[in-house]
Amino acid sequence: LLYHGDFLYDEVIKVPLMITGPGVPTEPTPSHPVSLVDVFDTLCDLTGIPTPDSVTGQSLFGPHERTHVFSEYGIRDMSKSKKRPAVSKEQLEPYGLGLKCIRTNDHKFVLRSDGETELYALPDEETSINDDALTSDLRATIERELGSDFTHCSEPISEVTSPDIRDNLEDLGYL
């Protein structure tokens, strides 16, 4: 009913990427966390193009390994959502919260805009765990890297987009 655009589960945030061609290493998929910000650096690395200093990613085939990656989205106004008539205000309210997430190989920590937190041991995301020291460390990392404020999502698609495309994106949970 509420689609995948409302969650930060691995099934939603882990996007498959396949790269093939001459000069592409054939070693197994990296076991460390990787991010979409690494795609540009990886392509530069594979093509021999220098990476600009302003880029924050790193090549998937380089010597560095990330210890964590982030996911986030801002607070949303759910009062205009097509989902609104199907559920009560109380059921819909949590889906408008902003979320920030840090994922390591072993844990996922989610900070919600209402101040609530969730910590999970991976790969099982079904049971929240209690570890005050780890929670404090991961929260500090999120706040240092992403800040402590939650932004409000603005309308992502311009008026130029056709109504059919907007309806499709909304049905899939992207709007």
Q: What is the pLDDT of residue 110?
A: 93
Task: Tell me the per-residue pLDDT of 48-73, one tens digit each, with 9 for 90 and over.
Answer: 999 988 888 899 888 888 899 998 88
Report how far residue 23's alpha carbon sits from residue 165's, in angstroms, rounded to the nearest whole number: 38
Strands 99-103 and 107-112: what pairing? antiparallel
Report how far residue 52's alpha carbon sits from residue 71's, in angstroms, rounded to the nearest whole number: 23
Q: What is the pLDDT of residue 1?
A: 41
Identify which of 60, 67, 83 has the alpha carbon closest to the alpha carbon of residue 6. Answer: 83
Q: Are 94 and 58 in contact (CB under 8 A)?
A: no
Tokens representing 73?
A: 């989205």
The amino acid present at 47, given as its one-letter code, is T
Q: What is the pLDDT of residue 127?
A: 73
